[in-house]
Structure 1
């Protein structure tokens, strides 16, 4: 049986949006039924426009109530001081009713991220995001070293055993490299394979 997977993201400048497409592509390669959605923007429109946010994004806005409909949720958020963005946290903080009813217990959860610099909080963002997923009762999946891109040393790049990631640069001009997108694709495929086995086991 194919798993139903939600790729749920927040993206200010398009880096996480690009990675989300890679994650979804990998999950589809594993036969999953994939939906891509995003969380609402919280920044006032005038501020977002002045900051150059990518305001036009094709993914529809997700609803908290739909989360239990999926077998796996792969979350994407940029780093904000080593933590997930407020937009994503605000969305997750609305899951109290779902948490109370244990409706995400046993679902697969994974995280990918983006930072402005090589050591800008990629790992801490994903790890503290994992804490939230564990509170929700989800089964946390990372990016294993069977993805050979984690061992590449010839250029700066994101990616860790905790999840796929990319570097945007201080001015956000750098977009995900081929190896970073492949890491996202690998993680999506990996999550889909695990979720598929859980669905089949019933």
Structure 2
């Protein structure tokens, strides 16, 4: 699960090689809460790996590129594993063809709403539409009413990653306006802040990303994500995995009938 080929764009394909150097990870030295468990009068049991679901919608492939590097970052943290999922498409095949949307190169699974509750951490990725999330991702959030009613996502660490066409196209507002989805579910919003270090302050090249999330500029749909943008995504994956290890053992849920009390 979570395997796939290179990134797809509207007019060409590009397979991106992994970075030769890992981005800084200031949380790597934090104490870890995941420990081995024992069975009384029995052998040691390996602890289960914590799960970070990377749930995204990608039209021309840019968000998918970030998702795959996020997974690399998550998987690099001991005891945590990333899983890639798409959300359902809401546009018809005819409309997608008119928009020159390329066919998907792999068979990543489409996630169901109930599967969200299986995650120890969540990363949601989507392109912008006029400064906020694409309707495909909004439709998916709109379908999570039963999870909200039962508070099954309360306490789950969650974050975002985004794609915009231009520098002023919503790198920050697209993530910022999505925080309401997490707030109503009681999830814990985990921004990356300036934990990427010097990479967050360089001005010598165009790059997506902000303190709110990793990000990429897509241009007219053909721009290939830069290594700086991908490295920031990988860092976000590592950072989220570390936060999941910190919070998952303490996670608690509200009773399913709490809203009626």
TM-score by length of 1: 0.96
Residues 46-94 of structure 1, C-alpha deviations (whole Å, 9 max, x = no match): 1101212133142110000110100111000000000100000101101
**Structure 1 residue 183 displacement after superposition:** 0.8
Aligned to 1:64: 113
- Which of 52, 65, 72 pairs up with 1:18? 65
2:168 and 2:133 map into 1 onto residues whose CA distance is 15
Aligned to 1:74: 123
Alignment of 1:19-98 (within 5 A): 19-31=66-78, 32-58=80-106, 59-98=108-147
Which SS does the other structure have where 1:187 is aligned? helix
- Which of 101, 117, 129 pairs up with 2:166? 117
**Structure 1 residue 117 displacement after superposition:** 0.3
Aligned to 2:41: none
2:248 and 2:76 map into 1 onto residues whose CA distance is 17
1:122 and 1:54 map into 2 onto residues whose CA distance is 24
Aligned to 1:167: 217
Which SS does the other structure have where 1:120 is aligned? coil
- CA RMSD for the aligned pairs? 1.2
Gaps of 5+ in 2: 1-33, 35-48, 252-261
Count of matched residue positions in the alignment of Structure 1 and Structure 2: 201
Is 192-201 or 155-164 further displaced after alignment? Answer: 192-201
- Which of 191, 194, 200 pairs up with 2:240? 191
- Which of 145, 151, 176 pairs up with 2:194? 145
Residues 116-148 of structure 1, C-alpha deviations (whole Å, 9 max, x = no match): 001101111100111111111000011121203
Deviating above 6 A after TM superposition, structure 1's stretches of 4 or more consecutive aligned residues are: none
Which SS does the other structure have where 2:55 is aligned? strand
Which SS does the other structure have where 1:122 is aligned? coil
1:34 and 1:54 map into 2 onto residues whose CA distance is 25
1:201 and 1:106 map into 2 onto residues whose CA distance is 9
Alignment of 1:177-188 (within 5 A): 177-188=226-237
**Structure 1 residue 34 displacement after superposition:** 1.4
Larger radius of gyration: 2
Higher normalized helix content (fraction of residues)? 1
Which SS does the other structure have where 1:117 is aligned? coil
Which SS does the other structure have where 2:177 is aligned? helix
Contact kept in structure 1, 2:157 and 2:247, CA below 8 Å? no
